[in-house]
Each structure stands twice: as C-alpha cells, then as structure tokens.
A = this chain, B = another copy of it.
C-alpha cells in the first residue's frame, strides 16, 4: 500500500468483553465444559421466544412491504406507536419526526458519538458498557471521561464527582446514563435523575440515556424514563427491542429526541445524525413493522413478567451467594440482567492462581496472563474460567479502574445457578488465598 490507510486510533481498542468469548471457546475446544455467565443474550442462554411472537414475525414475513426500504427515520406507523407510549406519560412530548430508528443501539451509539465534534465530550459512568465508552473515546481520539458509580452505595452515581467533571472540564457537552444500568443492574432513582437534569440545565449540556433495559426492573423498582423529568433540557433517549423481547438479532433500536426545538446547536446535531442515517438509506424494516403488534399483544405483559420474576430470583440467589464472600463488594441489582462485583482494594495480585490440570489449557492461560500490563481481574477471570469452566468478564474491561467481574443473571435453572455460585464462591476464596 503506497500510503498508510488506517485512521489514527481505529482498531486499536480491545474489546475484552468479546475477547473473553474467543478465549473461552479455545478452553472449551481443549475439553473444558463452559458455563457462559458472560453472555447477555437471553436466547443463547436458552430462553424461548413465545410462539405468538414468532407467529407475528412470520406473518409479517409474508407481507411484501416487509421486504422494502422504509423511510430514513423508520416506519411511520411504528414511530407514531412509540411516540404515543412516551407522550402518554405527560412528560416530554414528541412527534414521529423526533424518532429515528437504527440498526440496533450499537448503530445509534456509533452515529450519535460519530457526529459529535471531537473536542466536545460526553461524560460517561464508570463502570460502563463499552459500546458507549469506546464509541465516545474514538470520536474524541482520547480516553473516556467518566463519573464514578459508587460500589459502596448501590452503584448510584457519585453526584459530586459528576458535577466536578462538568465544572472543571469545559469540553464536557453532554451527560450519559444507562438506566437500568449495564453492567451494574442499578436503577437510577428519580431524585438522582432530577439532579442530573438540573446539572445539565445549569451547565447548558445535553443528556443521553440508554433505556434499552427500561422495562426489565424488579425488586419493586420501576424505571423513570428521562422523558418524565427532562423538562426543557435537550436529550436523547435510546430504546430498543434487543433485550426486552428479546430480539437482539433484529438490530432494531431507536432514539427519541427531546427538546430539539429548544436549542439550535442540539437541533443541528440531531439533523447531522439523521443525515448520516440518510446516507445509508434506512434501517431494517421487518422488526419495525412487528414492534407494535408484539408490544400490544395480550400475552406480552404476562410473558415479560414471568421473565422479570426469574431475573429477580436469579439476581437474589447470586447476590446471596456472593455477598458472603469476604473481600467482595456486591450490590443487589434491580434491573437489567447483569451484576457487577468488585474486589476490595489490594486483594487481587499478579501472582494469584488456581491449579489447571489440562496442560494445554494451563499453557494457554499462563501465556495470556504472564505478560506485562494484564489487569489483575483479567488474570482472575482467566484462572476461574480454566479451573472451573465458569466464564465471567473482568470488571476493568468496563472502563473502570475498579477490579472485579461481571456476571449475567440469565441462568434458567435455579439448581444450576446454585451449583455455579457454590463453586464460584469457593474458588474465589481459594484464588484470593493462593
């Protein structure tokens, strides 16, 4: 190639959350049975799509129009449908022009941050889902700027830390939240959301809230959508069907833009996002056409409640096991289906290990952890994987300096869940003592 052709920073970031799959597959191919506690796809974890839902999709697949392009913003009827849901809450009011469908929230996230000026930064939670933090970091060609979620207080945001980041960094132009949160399972209480909106208003910022898990809450919690509280602050809510139906393979999500008429810079920003979608024509048609029929189906609420009840049960089992392990910092989760578990500072070292019988597996793991710069929780995760077959994700790969691990709460079988966490708690203790 006569020229260097790769953009600076492109392809240089590591996606530990995906790398771990490659590693676990290798370990599996060497004979170890894997428990995939890293995976956030309910279907892969064994959930069934209800027959009625599949029948809606299959019926729609018999419709020629499902094969055609849809408008750039998305299918008009579906945009009316999602507007109604929001408008009925009597918070921020929107029209179908304020809704843009994307090929999943990954696409929405890439376009939102990709149309931002490099010098304008969006403040992220830490830990956070890396699709957000990497998307924002790539746009800025710099490390993410983050506020702390407090492991000592239900993973709620450290509001002082958040406001200080806004106050002392004039490049901060927006605030991002995931509600309910991935990877912590925390649900933002309304008082905290109000404070965040107040900070955005005081400092003239916009807000992004990823609400993809908004209907997956339990332990008596409910999600307050940002549209309820946003007032006249410019904001983007990100929503989707990947996790809720669940239909992650649909790549179907959307953004709702609140108050884009209230700030000319924000309006220009939303138009730039729309333009970049326009250059790709539109997003997937079929899932958009199915969406209203599915969400209004008489069986939907019951189906969702049954799943949520199961997540609640698994969450509490997981919590009850892990909270007993000395050295772990664990919070009960209230939404989504992830739990982030921290180690108390100083507990993890670069020398701890667990025995790995299989020579090839041992060499594989040792080759990966005995290189400079490996985070101690990555070491922990790899040894647990190789020794027990239980696959988790290092917490440090979620854009935080805190060490720990993330598990998902998608185990369907309560006995299996208990078996896994019996082993895990035992082995954590053994690892820490090694």
Q: How far is the CA of A168 from the CA of B168 in the complex (A)?
A: 6
Q: Give the distance in Å from the alpha carbon of A262 to the alpha carbon of B15 in the complex.
A: 26
**Cβ proximity bits A112-152 to B, threshold 8 Å, 1 near / 0 not:** 00111111100000000011001100111111010000000
Chain B residues positioned under 8 Å from A329 (CB to CB): none
Which of A101-109, A346-354, A380-388 lies at the binding interface? A101-109
Number of A residues near B (Cβ < 8 Å) is 100
A57 proximal to B (CB < 8 A): yes
Q: How far is the CA of A249 from the CA of B71 in the complex (A)?
A: 10
- Is A182's CB within 8 Å of the partner chain B? no
- Say whether A402 faces chain B, with CB atoms less than 8 Å apart: no
Shortest distance in angstroms between A77's beta carbon and chain B's nearest beta carbon? 14
The smallest beta-carbon distance between A204 and chain B, in angstroms, is 4
Q: Determine how close the nearest CB of chain B comes to the CB of A208; give it in whole angstroms.
A: 12
A397 interface contact, C-beta 8 A: no
User: How distant is the Cα of A48 from the Cα of B67 in the complex, in angstroms?
Assistant: 10
Instruction: Provide the bound-state CA to CA distance between A3 and B143, in Å.
Output: 9
Docked-complex contact A164 and B173, CB < 8 angstroms: no
Contact B61 A48 (CB under 8 A): no
Task: Please tell me if the beta carbons of A5 and B116 are within 8 angstroms of each other in the complex.
Answer: yes
Contacts of A400 in B (CB 8 A): none
Known interface pairs A67-B245, A106-B281, A134-B279. Does A6 touch B268 (Cβ–Cβ under 8 Å)?
A: yes
B145 near A169 with CB under 8 A, answer: yes
Contact: B6 with A8, CB < 8 Å?
no
**Contact, CB under 8 Å: B68 / A104:** no
User: B168 contacts A164, CB within 8 Å?
Assistant: yes
Q: A203 within 8 Å of B by Cβ?
A: yes
Tell me how far the C-beta of A45 lies from the nearest C-beta in chain B, rounded to whole angstroms.
9
Do residues B246 and A10 form an inter-chain contact, with CB atoms below 8 A? Answer: no
Q: How far is the CB of A241 from chain B (nearest CB, A)?
A: 10
B251 touches A103 (CB 8 A): yes
Q: Is the CB of A7 within 8 A of B70?
A: no
Q: A420 → chain B, closest Cβ, in Å?
A: 21
Q: Indicate whether A432 reaches chain B with its CB closer than 8 angstroms.
A: no
- Closest residue of chain B to A286 (Cβ to Cβ) is B249
A276 at the B interface (CB under 8 A): yes
Pick from B7, B130, B143, B278: contact of A115, CB below 8 A: B7
Contact B64 A11 (CB under 8 A): no
The one of B5, B41, B70, B247 that contacts A249, using a Cβ cutoff of 8 Å: B70
Task: Give the contacting residue for A5; candidates B54, B174, B203; CB below 8 A.
Answer: B174
Q: Does A87 make an interface contact (CB < 8 A)?
A: no
Asked if A85 lies at the interface with its beta carbon under 8 angstroms from chain B, I say no
A185 → B minimal CB distance (Å):
20
| Interface positions of A (Cβ within 8 A of B) | 1-8, 10-11, 13, 15, 18, 41, 43-44, 48-49, 54-55, 57-59, 61-70, 72, 103-104, 106-107, 109-110, 114-120, 130-131, 134-135, 138-143, 145, 161, 164-165, 167-171, 173-174, 203-206, 234, 245-251, 263, 265-266, 268-269, 271-276, 278-286
